[in-house]
Homo-oligomer: A and B are copies of this chain.
Amino acid sequence: MKVANLVGQTFKEKPSDCVIDSHALMVRGGFMKYVGNGIYSEFPALRRVTAKIENIIRKEMDAIDGQEVLFPVVLPASLWEESGRFESVGSELVRFKDRNGSKHVLGMTHEEAAVQLVREYAQSYARYPFMIYQIQRKFRDEARPRAGMIRVREFTMKDAYSFHTSQEDLDKYYELCFQAYNRIFQRAGVPEVVTVKSDSGMMGGSVSHEYMLLTPVGEDSVVMCNECDYRSNMEAAGNRVDNTWDGNISEELECVETPGCKTIDDVCAFLKSDVKASCKAVVYQKNIDDKFVVAFVRGDYEVNETKLRNLVGGEIHTAEITADDCLVAGYIGPYGISDEAEVYIDVSLKGIKSIVAGANKEGYHYTGLDLERDLESVQYVDISKVKEGGICPCCGKPAITVKRGIEVGNIFQLGTKYTKSMNMQYTDENGESHYPVMGCYGIGVGRLAASVCEVHHDEYGPVWPITIAPWEVQICCLRADNEETKKVADQLYKDLMDSGIEVIYDDRQIRPGAMFSDADLTGVPIRVTVSPRNLKESSVEITTRDKSVKDIVPIEEAAGYIQNLRLKLFADIESHVEDYK
């Protein structure tokens, strides 16, 4: 391919609407084009990247006995009604009626379609286990698409579904898939991806993991321990709080006036009390009946809404409290709170002998509150977010650190959520019927491409790993108007193409600076510069995009040198790929 013919244009300036580097560089490099909110077209350069990622995924899925299928993008609503998700999923699910008024949805995940495909096939235990996967477009009507291809509304996804006759068998396969995922990210040139335990959210099931590529621009919080292997996403991270400190001693319960103190900071300042010994109330309402849900956490902690939602067992939203309600906004506390509210007390409050908390009375707080002494009964639950320096729930050391990451893949154990609701059963050896257990496994192709660019770029452009680079070698012919230079470059292009190497060849008659800028924006790993100056020495210059190699090589050795360098770059990546255990 010649640069002169490549469809896609490069830009010098960073587009004003690009917040993160990968987005800016992928627009500037002619990889992607905005079509609508969270909707992009892929130019040829990016299509080559995503095709390579798809093939890496395909190979690893096939290696663990996955069978590729294809589900429709458009699904009859009836399928989602069977699972109950037609009602339960919010407006990220696009629903529409066809010309006959039949309800349909755009598939944003395909558990229902997977069960529907194999429900009749897998009626005997002898068919199990098996895994099917597809690589297909999906649409999820995100409220806030952002960061280019990182969070879009339409995307290509590999989604896989495995079916098993026992939890043990699922566990075994889940572990295999866990390794396959590591290999996929290692092959794609990002061995630094970490796995974290995660909350299963709307997918159902219990065990699940996310694959996180750590980067400050990531939109997810990853909780890690500096002392042990513990890793979790914020939603699923268990919080442990140590409330032993000097001065944590019992005092008498007293109701004091705290005029105009509506926030916990106001109160602590007014009472000259330590925020650690205070109790903060965060109030929600259940979506289903607007009943109040009050979460009490230590004054310096935040509520983890995912954990709270799981306890409540349904959707909740931030409360609006009026004067007529049973709660006194700004003065809510656990002692003497109305029976009408559902109350949750966080583990961060456990063991504090003398707490400042709202008195459920306008303008008043309690001091000296001891929950275990003063409440009839108290049950602590974990509904708070962990903090930097917090205690690791695994090793118990105060070594928790919180980082940002992009979720590039996830794997879930689904249990029987879908097989039960959609009545998929198999008969075992004794003729008895059971619901199979499922796992599901997703990777967003475009997001992975963008994430690799995010962690592998410099100020001039992407630095693509050779396994997913749009081309392997770029030839820059400086002064293509010079007959000799052009001849050498043309011949090298032909030789490399003939040996099966993917080459992009720039023989445009433009300034060297512009040519190099464009090459940087394309981000091809190996670059050969053919110029009159080097040709005086009968040589060409060979460099790598990551600047680790910069050599002057005699013309007749160039093709061989490039072939070896190419193999070395592949081998470097392969050296990070772990074998299956």
Contacts and interface: CB of A to CB of B under 8 A. Distances in A.
B41 A98 contact: no
How many copies of this kind of chain does the complex include?
A: 2
A504 to B, nearest CB: 12
A91 B102 contact: no
A5 B65 contact: yes
A69 B44 contact: yes
Helix, strand, loop or mixed for chain A's interface? mixed
A132 B1 CA distance: 14
Q: For chain A, which range describes its interface: under 10, 10 to 19, 20 to 34, or 35 or more residues?
A: 35 or more
A88 interface: no
Contacts of A9: 120-121
B98 A7 contact: no
B39 A139 contact: no
A136 interface: yes
A50 B74 contact: no
A69 B47 CA distance: 6
A73 B73 contact: yes
A423 interface: no
A343 interface: no
Contacts of A78: 36
A338 interface: no
Contacts of A79: 35-36
A76 interface: yes
Interface string A449-469: 000000000000000000000
Interface stretch (A110-118, A165-173, A275-283, A564-572): A110-118
Contact of A106 (B41, B74, B117): B74
Interface of A: 1, 5-9, 30, 33, 35-37, 39-44, 46-48, 50-51, 65, 67-76, 78-79, 91-92, 94, 96, 98-100, 102, 104, 106, 113, 116-118, 120-121, 130, 132, 134, 136-137, 139, 141, 143, 153-154, 156
6 contacts: A7-B69, A9-B120, A37-B102, A40-B72, A41-B69, A99-B143
